[in-house]
Amino acid sequence: EQRSQREAEGGARERAAAAERASRGGGSEAPLPNVPASGKGQIAVDFALAQLGEPYSYGSEGPDSWDCSGLTMKAWAQAGVSLPRSSSAQIGVGTRVSLSQLEPGDLVFFYSPISHVGIALGGGQVVHATHPGDVVSVDPISYMPFAGATRPG
């Protein structure tokens, strides 16, 4: 129990630090939701939020720039879950969930055909590497046309 409390506090600290970085380095103006995640989902969320403000670069897998599926792939790798490289392939991993069932850490897919992916944060928000000329940011899920979601791992 002590460990899970320490992990939750660490996640809260990381979200606060990420919000501060976003306010200095770009990204969305949206406040980060305070929705607790658990286990592997929390690890993926914390990793993705630590990248806020870093530039989008097509085909990039970090550590200093990202494209959407590169970010989600590396975030879930931190939790020990292997994802394919493309957003269209990532939707085939894990358990499909509806928009109303989303939990922090779930992968959220956009457009038809699927061409974009982010990580659900809770509170109707997603962290994602947006597009060329922009940075990793937090935006409302409704910002783009929702196509589906999965829960990896």
Any catalytic annotation for residue 116?
yes
Any catalytic annotation for residue 68?
yes
Q: Which of 15, 21, 74, 128 is catalytic?
A: 128
Contacts of 18 (CB under 8 A, 6+ apart): 32, 49, 50, 52
Q: Where are the beta strands (DSSP E) in the chain?
A: 95-97, 107-110, 116-122, 125-129, 136-140, 146-151
Q: Which of 18, 37, 50, 68 is catalytic?
A: 68
Any catalytic annotation for residue 131?
no
Q: Which of 76, 116, 117, 144 is catalytic?
A: 116
3-class SS at 101? helix
User: Listing from the earlier edge strand, what are the strands of the sheet with 107-110?
Assistant: 95-97, 146-151, 107-110, 116-122, 125-129, 136-140
Q: Which residues are catalytic?
A: 68, 116, 128
